[in-house]
Amino acid sequence: MTGGAAGHGEPITIRAGRRSVTVSRPDKVLFPADGVTKRDLAEHYARVAPAMLPLVREHPVALERFPDGIEGMRFYHKNIKHTPEWVRTVTVGKRGGELNQVVVDDAATLVWMADQACITPHIWLSRADRLMNPDQLIVDLDPPEGKFAEARRVALVVRSLLDDLGLPSYPKTTGGKGIHVMVPLDRRATFEDVRAFADGLAAVLAADDPRRLTTEFRKEKRGDRLFLDMGRNAYAQHAVAPYAVRPRDGAPVATPLDWSEVEDRRLKPERFTIKAVGKRVESGDDPWGPLHPRSLTKPRAQLRRMSS
């Protein structure tokens, strides 16, 4: 990585894969409590790209941007009109029209998004070539504030159910208070089918532990129960990308985990910061390894039998 007179805010260049990407205003502080700058953000995405790209490649992306840092204005940039010629985009349909969205295919695109003050990229659960057929299912475990330990406990319960259904699963911190459990899919099922299956999973889980788990969408009706959120498993919905930075003090990162880490009662999401995760990736740590996409055909039939 090379730079100019960054102390005065002149643009710098960051090597990302086969390209050198210009980052303007590199000393702009995005996380005031931590002193994390736009340069730090761009360098993070360059560092984690080898681990991140296999998990996000070909997925349309919504950019969560903070031009003045996390204490300033936030907006989701979903309709991209101007990009460098080497940044790939795809047209996606929406109710009443279309959107032009970035598709992440290389490290340079990740760094370019950081230059746009995109702290968090949010990916579709499907790829650009088959938008109606997701390549993953996500169980979003959303506990009450301050109860990450409950998300950790429930993640293990979710893994056990998915194991019973013959579905391999992969956990990640969200960079917030919860955990995502991801199931890679073979892209045969439509979003409608995947959402129905996800809702069936949630129903079985909530029925087994109604005092601590709920599918209730309204917060005021959840009480102290963990919300089993399956809403991301639908067309045009998004999930925080693996290795994405989140707009919170500490600059936490949504981090893929090994199940042995989730089994550890000492697990704390705040340990996965922009600095720590970059080192983790550079050390060769790859907790998910090669993914193994599966069909939902047999698990769907088995889940019906569980629910009857």
Which residues of the chain form beta strands (DSSP E)? 12-16, 19-23, 29-31, 36-37, 60-65, 75-77, 89-94, 97-103, 118-124, 136-142, 170-173, 179-184, 213-214, 226-229, 238-240
Alpha carbons 50 and 164: distance in angstroms, whole number: 32
Ordered per-residue pLDDT tens for the chain, 308 residues: 434 344 448 999 999 999 999 999 999 999 999 999 999 999 999 999 999 999 999 999 999 999 999 999 999 999 999 999 999 999 999 888 999 999 999 999 999 999 999 999 999 999 999 999 999 999 999 999 999 999 999 999 999 999 999 999 999 999 999 999 999 999 999 999 999 999 999 999 999 999 999 999 999 999 999 999 999 999 999 999 999 999 999 999 999 999 999 999 999 999 999 999 999 999 998 999 999 999 999 999 999 998 87
Instruction: Provide the 8-state DSSP code for 195.
Output: H
Alpha carbons 252 and 175: distance in angstroms, whole number: 5
Bridge partners, residue 20, by sequence? 15
pLDDT per residue over 172-227, tens digit each? 999 999 999 999 999 999 999 999 999 999 999 999 999 999 999 999 999 999 99
